[in-house]
């Protein structure tokens, strides 16, 4: 990569990181901390029993030795591991406005990664298409966040089919302990329900769907040649016929509905992000939803 291109990339990464940090400080507050749980409770200390303490927390061994009632105290093990699985197949390059789907993914990942940084969590990332093309093992600190953003902003699209099962099974192999896993994709590929179910049982899996409003709209453009950016398959369609346009629109709605139902059956929380709106708005709605549910 040329020196000028590298400088521009680093400038863009820095700009995204600064904007994300300001948004997190101003808008998220403690929401991230409250909606994503740690790995569980760990023993902290024993102290003398006080009126109002739960009698079930009495440490009978210490109480018997000392002759005074003592209770066990626990604290939540807050440190989390956050893993981003980001689809970099060719369809992520589409965007009818100022941002592509991949750029939308980068903005969302920046906000979540900075939130994780403020909480002292580890962050890692796997970029994938039909296979994992880049893996950053989870690490702590600002350097880990900046490297994640640098790899994501500079990622090259892969002209191959999306394999969500490959990404989920990779996360299963590399992350043995429970983690928060964000799966960012446009969900145009078939959903592997068995892989989703396994991943959602082991991890706190959140599916982030990336969509562009023009994907479901088909203009009256006459005879057109459609090319699949991932497979290279071509097809001619006569969009001058209203029936053809309506069929394409219905097919898109059916696919989206099937995917949403499959994610719900697997117990996966879902967040949809549009390329035409700020990610912070959708993330805030998602955080509020999880807070109410907890």
Q: What tokens does 184 get?
A: 């960012």
Class of domain 3-33+79-293: alpha beta
| Overall average pLDDT of the 35-52 stretch | 67
Does 29 have pLDDT greater than 70? no
Q: How many CB atoms lie within 10 A of CB 163?
A: 21
Query: pLDDT tens digit string along 121-130?
Result: 999 999 999 9
CA gap 4, 197 in Å, rounded: 45
CA gap 40, 33 in Å, rounded: 14
How would residue 26 be classed by pLDDT, with cut points 50, 70 and 90?
A: low
Does 5 have pLDDT greater than 90? no
Query: pLDDT tens digit string along 194-203?
Result: 999 999 999 9
CA gap 69, 85 in Å, rounded: 49
Comparison of pLDDT for 282 and 294, the residue scoring more: 282
- The region of weakest confidence among 25-29, 262-266, 268-272 is 25-29
What is the value of pTM for the model shown?
0.79
Averaged confidence pLDDT in the chain:
84
How much is the pLDDT for 83? Answer: 97
Determine the distance from the C-alpha atom of residue 17 to the mean position of all C-alpha atoms in its chain, rounded to a whole number. Answer: 17
How much is the pLDDT for 4? Answer: 47
How much is the pLDDT for 278? Answer: 86
| Overall average pLDDT of the 111-134 stretch | 93
Query: pLDDT tens digit string along 85-103?
Result: 999 999 999 888 888 999 9
| Overall average pLDDT of the 121-144 stretch | 95
How would residue 43 be classed by pLDDT, with cut points 50, 70 and 90?
A: low
Provide the residue ranges of all domains of the chain, joining segments of one domain with +.
Answer: 3-33+79-293, 43-77
CA gap 229, 158 in Å, rounded: 9
81 bridge partner residues:
122
Query: pLDDT tens digit string along 70-89?
Result: 887 755 555 789 999 999 99
Does 105 have pLDDT greater than 60? yes
| Overall average pLDDT of the 163-186 stretch | 94
């Amino acid at each position: 990569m040329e020196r000028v291109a590298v400088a521009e990339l680093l400038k863009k990464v820095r700009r995204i990181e600064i904007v994300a940090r300001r948004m997190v400080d101003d808008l998220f507050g403690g929401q991230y901390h409250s909606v994503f749980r740690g790995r569980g409770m760990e023993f902290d200390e024993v102290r003398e029993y006080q009126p109002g303490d739960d009698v079930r927390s009495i440490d009978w061994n210490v109480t018997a030795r000392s002759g005074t009632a003592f209770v066990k105290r626990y604290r939540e093990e807050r440190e989390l591991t956050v893993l981003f699985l980001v689809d970099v197949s060719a369809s992520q390059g589409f965007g009818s406005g100022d941002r592509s789907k991949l750029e939308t993914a980068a903005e969302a990942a920046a906000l979540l990664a900075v939130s994780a940084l403020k909480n002292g969590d580890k962050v890692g990332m796997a970029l994938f298409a039909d296979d994992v093309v880049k893996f950053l093992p989870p690490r702590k600190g600002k350097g880990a966040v900046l490297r994640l953003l640098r790899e994501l902003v500079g990622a090259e699209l892969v002209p191959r089919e999306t394999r969500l099962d490959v990404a989920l099974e990779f996360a299963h192999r590399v992350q043995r302990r429970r983690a928060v896993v964000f799966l960012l994709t446009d969900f145009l590929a078939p959903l592997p329900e068995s892989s989703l179910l396994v991943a959602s049982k082991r991890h706190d899996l959140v599916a982030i769907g990336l969509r562009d409003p023009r994907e479901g709209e088909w203009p009256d453009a006459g005879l057109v040649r459609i090319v699949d950016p991932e497979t290279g398959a071509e097809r001619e369609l006569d969009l001058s016929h209203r029936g053809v346009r309506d069929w394409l629109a219905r097919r898109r709605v059916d696919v989206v509905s099937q995917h949403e139902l499959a994610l719900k059956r697997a117990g996966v929380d879902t967040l949809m992000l549009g390329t035409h709106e700020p990610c912070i708005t959708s993330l805030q709605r998602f955080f509020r939803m999880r807070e109410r549910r907890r």
